Structure 1
Amino acid sequence: MEERIAYLLAQHRRGALTAAERQELQHWLDVPGDATVDTIAALMEQEAAITEPLDESTLEERVARIVSVDKGEEKKTATIHPLRTWWWAAAVLILCFSLLGIYRWQHRQTAIDTRLAQQSNPVIMPGSNKAVLTLANGEKVNLDSTGHQLIREGETAVQQQGGSLLYAAGAGTAVTYNTLTTPRGGQFQLVLADGTSVWLNAASSIRYPTAFNGDTRQVEVSGEAYFQVASDPGRPFTVHTAGQTIAVLGTQFNINNYGDNGHIITTLLEGKIRIDNGRRQVELTPGEQSIVNAADISVNRNVDTDMVVAWKNGLFKFNGTKLEEVMKQLSRWYDVDVTYAGPAPDRRFSGEITRGAAITEVLDMLRLLQVNFKITDNGPRKMITVVPD
């Protein structure tokens, strides 16, 4: 991405932009209501009249002026403007390219040059719609966003439409069980035979019947899933996870049951659910969140529900989120391993980032906020190492 932007900037400096290229470059400056954008645009206009590269002290002062717009006074928390963090980082890079002069790209003596050199690291793309459907007979069907197929499971018709599966059970259908599993870097949507919609996040699975013939509806979940349960008061909906059971009538809620959390987080958005860990029961009302561990259940009544379900809406959303939690989310979605060269930096982040961005765009933003990374390719696995400031 940076190379494309740099090319457009170079064309602009030479006065050689085509109409299409001018429109593409203008796109980066047309995000309204952002003081950072105004600052960058003004400095780029100033640079248009400069014929010699700026010295390092002037460069650092100008870049610091931009960074300070978003950093604020708090040193431990970095606030990022919603939905344009990756753009903001790229825009600072544009300014750096402009101020240094295009011909200096090949030099690696300065901190900016060093960071640019890191762009030759292995390419790590974001996750996508992909999963594996395991049928009752053990047959496995690979699913992705390009697939459109009809799968027969007894009397149940399973229709794949891109990144979703839709179950339609006929009358008197025998009950069998399927499992839908997403890998790291995958997500998928499922509509069960009763009309309940389920969104699976990366590295997650759900086991469910192909038809609901009895007086209960029961499924099993690991990882993270969002449920929009079809209302049926005569047949309660129950979700089983390792360590808890959730009883539902008709509601919308999110379960985060990743093993590296050390606990199970259930957040209610609509309706009513009852949490049971085998020792205690707790009922949640909308906007509440339960945290279940081996010993007890605690309830959080001050929850940013938009942040909890941001993944379902194609976003990472952070609200004072610790760096370690940020990296866990990136690790699962981009299918990379994360290590720390020393203690994890004590940093918290707030803001939104699209899950469609390449990981380098996200890491560029974090680097500009004094968190540094090294990307290595260890054969079949890629690794991100968080290094000290």
Structure 2
Amino acid sequence: MKSATGKEQKIQFGKMARKQLPLYRQYEEEKYSEGEQESWHAITERIEMTERRTLRRKVLYAVAAAVVLFAVAGVSFRLYMVTADERPIEELAQTFQTPQEAGDKILLVTTGEKQMDVDDNASLKYKNDGTVVVNSQTVDQNVVFDKNQPAVYNQIIVPKGKRTHIYFADGTHIYVNSGTKVTYPAVFAREKREIYVDGEVYLEVKRDVNRPFYVKTEGMSVQVLGTSFGVCAYQEDKESSVVLVSGKVEVETKARQKVTLSPDELFSMEGSVTSTRKVDASEYVCWTEGLMIFNKEPLDSVFKRLSRYYGQEIRYEHKKGQPYYVSGKLDLRDSLEEVLGLVAGFAPVTFNKTDHIITVEVIE
């Protein structure tokens, strides 16, 4: 309280001094020559500078209070700020702790590890100020528009058997497949747009020549300006891939190998081995429409994809040796039992379900 009273006295003194200065100045003008009046200018400037500093401190205190005490509309989040320039998004994504109670729920998690449930196949819609609408609820994340200020990051966690959509304020649309985590800023930076993916996504990126879009994964980085493409990069899988539907993308591996893809080209990577081949891109992204198309694909790979999509553990038991390849088309809007019945129609397999586990055996 003493320090506050002292500041008020200084301000009052300054105001009083400014009122008395003209009278003293008139007296000095009559008594001294004009060349000696420069000192009065210095005194006046010093008083005005003191008042400006006091006002500036008041403004800073008010801004600090506004940042600490903010209201959240709809759903409350405690946000732990991380400066965007301090760590790459690949490293930052690892700081999110997956809640143990996540189970089969889709979760939106902030960097402060606050979370909310998201309905299956629901959409997250972001606005220019970082506000996001989820399940008809509005979340205000108090994003500060300053490159020197900390950025606010979110992570969407989609368990097996679920899917969701993200609409960013720039017009980019992302389909998020089962068993996937996506980490991203609530508001993209001015110079680039960047997300981190562990799993499978399909992106329709809004073109912006001044802000390229980057998709980072465990083993590669994909750069685009505006295009449609799919990325499949589950950390638990040996192989990662990028398939281009339209436009152009550049893929760069950790080994600094760069590959530019044209439409209907697939880039795949397993360890340090990479390859590029011509494909029908629609077969790799048709999961967004509830379909699965496979052409000479190993049977164990088909069951792994079905397990993720339906959120059901499927154990494929077969003798080691040459894999069994299959081709076909499945409607994933059907029940898993119906889909497995179709698989049994073109592959020599039988199914047995016990303790929530489906066991697949190959008929010799």
The unaligned stretches of length 5 or more in structure 1 are 1-128
Residue 304 of structure 1 aligns to a residue whose secondary structure is coil
| 2:117 pairs with 1:142 | yes
* 1:332-358 deviation line (CA, Å, top 9, x unaligned): 112222223432785433332211111
Question: Any conservation in 2 of the 1:166–1:192 contact (CA below 8 Å)?
Answer: no
- 1:209 maps to amino acid: P
* 1:153-196 deviation line (CA, Å, top 9, x unaligned): x952211258x999999883863000011101111110123221
- The structure whose RCO (Cα within 8 Å, separation 6+) is larger is 1
Residue 325 of structure 1 aligns to a residue whose secondary structure is helix
Q: State which of 200, 210, 213 in structure 2 corresponds to 1:224.
A: 200
Q: State which of 256, 264, 268 in structure 2 corresponds to 1:287.
A: 264
Task: Write the distance in 2 (CA, Å) between the matches of 1:286 and 1:146.
Answer: 27
Number of matched pairs: 256
Question: Any conservation in 1 of the 2:157–2:180 contact (CA below 8 Å)?
Answer: yes
- 2:315 maps to amino acid: T
Task: Write the distance in 2 (CA, Å) between the matches of 1:190 and 1:295.
Answer: 32
- 2:279 maps to amino acid: V
* Greater mean alpha carbon deviation, residues 253-262 or residues 222-231: 253-262
Task: Write the distance in 2 (CA, Å) between the matches of 1:362 and 1:373.
Answer: 13
Alignment root-mean-square deviation, CA: 3.2
- 1:328 maps to amino acid: K
Question: Any conservation in 1 of the 2:163–2:176 contact (CA below 8 Å)?
Answer: yes
Task: Write the distance in 1 (CA, Å) between the matches of 2:168 and 2:139.
Answer: 7
- 1:293 maps to amino acid: E
Residue 368 of structure 1 aligns to a residue whose secondary structure is helix
| 2:254 pairs with 1:257 | no
* 1:252-290 deviation line (CA, Å, top 9, x unaligned): 110011234312110011111111113211111111111
Task: Write the distance in 2 (CA, Å) between the matches of 1:348 and 1:216.
Answer: 42
- 1:307 maps to amino acid: E
Q: State which of 332, 336, 339 in structure 2 corresponds to 1:362.
A: 339
| 2:350 pairs with 1:373 | yes
Task: Write the distance in 1 (CA, Å) between the matches of 2:352 and 2:138.
Answer: 35
Residue 181 of structure 2 aligns to a residue whose secondary structure is strand
* 1:13-47 deviation line (CA, Å, top 9, x unaligned): xxxxxxxxxxxxxxxxxxxxxxxxxxxxxxxxxxx
Deviation at 1:297, TM superposition (A): 2.7
- 1:352 maps to amino acid: K
Structure showing greater radius of gyration is 2
Task: Write the distance in 1 (CA, Å) between the matches of 2:208 and 2:311.
Answer: 38
- 1:306 maps to amino acid: S
Match of 1:274 in 2: 250
The unaligned stretches of length 5 or more in structure 2 are 1-103
Matches within 5 A, 1:121-136: 131-136=106-111
- 1:134 maps to amino acid: V
- 2:334 maps to amino acid: A
Match of 1:40 in 2: none
* 1:322-376 deviation line (CA, Å, top 9, x unaligned): 2111111111112222223432785433332211111111222222335223332
Match of 2:357 in 1: 382
